[in-house]
A and B are shown apart, each in its own frame.
Chain A
Amino acid sequence: MFTDKIETKDVAKMDPEYQDLLKRVLTIQADCEIGGPHLYVKDILLNAPTAAEKLIVARTAAEEIDHFRKMAKLASDLGVDVSFLLKRSNQERYVEAFRGIITTWEDHAVFGFLIDRIGRYQLEEFESCSYEPLNRILPPVLKEEEGHIGHGQNLTAEMAKGDEEQRRRIQESINSWYPKALDMFGLSNSRRSERYMHWGLKRRTNDEAREQYIKEVNPLIEEMGLQVPDPTANRKYF
């Protein structure tokens, strides 16, 4: 296990595998950050139920754009240009959960509740990681991500208290996003995940992170009076 702390100037001297994995993870993280606004801005920003909610959608997008900017800057400092991610179609995103479009307020709420939470898990992987510039940008990014999760969770809980039709709709969104969320952790026996851990760029295996997520999120869904979907249904990666 690699325990040194690396600065930008030292990266070129590192093992090529380290350089490749670091550049790859920064590119994917940048793609996920800008992939969020591309999912919900078009149909949700002007159609949110109140003007205050519209502004909260705008603020969330602003924060995700800023997270993209920070990841893009780190990549750029390593000679990697990720500006192409700005004009990439949703269908080309690295992570499947970002390949569609969000058209309902229920999906927007559950996206914050379930998918932004995975964003937090991904960012937590980098806490105390071997690449110091990445460590340094994390605290405000994580704090803002917590805000997105909390808002999505509150909206979901609120809708779960609604009438029968509202409850049916929010349960449907949970059923749709839950398997996508679990798949976002990747294959349990991923060789690349082991190499990330070897180089101090991740802390947990995909399976460990997924299990922790399930333990955290299932009780929250149950507390809302909603049903936890079968964790093996509609899944692609185990």
Chain B
Amino acid sequence: MAEAKLEELNQHLTEIVEALQSAVSWGMSHRDEPQALDKAVLDSKELIDQVMDASILTW
């Protein structure tokens, strides 16, 4: 992978991690709201899956 693409991957991963941490923090701060918690979990799963199935490499 070319240097520019590796830099782009680093940037994408940074954004995914920030979005994940944000989803987790939001969920934790809504512990007493089951629907909000479920949404935070599903949002997190969707973000992690972008890394796990490597679709991030085709962005």
Contact = CB atoms under 8 A, between A and B. Distances in A.
Given A46-B41, A58-B20, A76-B6, A66 B27 contact: no
B17 A38 contact: no
Interface in A39-55: 41-42, 45-46, 51-52, 54-55
Interface in A87-138: 87
Given A51-B27, A62-B17, A69-B17, A83 B57 contact: yes
B54 A59 contact: no
Contact of A55 (B14, B27, B34, B49): B27
Given A41-B48, A58-B23, A65 B28 contact: no
B57 A58 contact: no
A175 to B, nearest CB: 28
Given A37-B52, A42-B52, A51-B27, A69 B10 contact: yes
A73 interface: yes
A121 to B, nearest CB: 24
B54 A87 contact: yes
A101 to B, nearest CB: 12
A54 B48 CA distance: 13
Contact-residue size bin, chain A (C-beta under 8 Å from the other chain)? 20 to 34
Q: Do most interface residues of chain A lie in helix, strand or loop, or is the interface mixed?
A: helix
A149 interface: no
Nearest to A53: B41
Interface string B1-39: 101001101100110110011011001100100100110
B19 to A, nearest CB: 9
Contacts of B13: 65-66, 68-69, 72
Given A51-B27, A55-B27, A83-B6, A45 B17 contact: no
Given A76-B10, A86-B57, 17 more contacts: A34-B51, A37-B51, A51-B27, A51-B37, A52-B31, A55-B41, A59-B20, A61-B20, A61-B48, A65-B16, A65-B51, A68-B13, A69-B10, A69-B14, A76-B3, A86-B54, A86-B56
Interface of A: 34, 37-38, 41-42, 45-46, 51-52, 54-55, 58-59, 61-62, 65-66, 68-69, 72-73, 76, 81, 83, 86-87
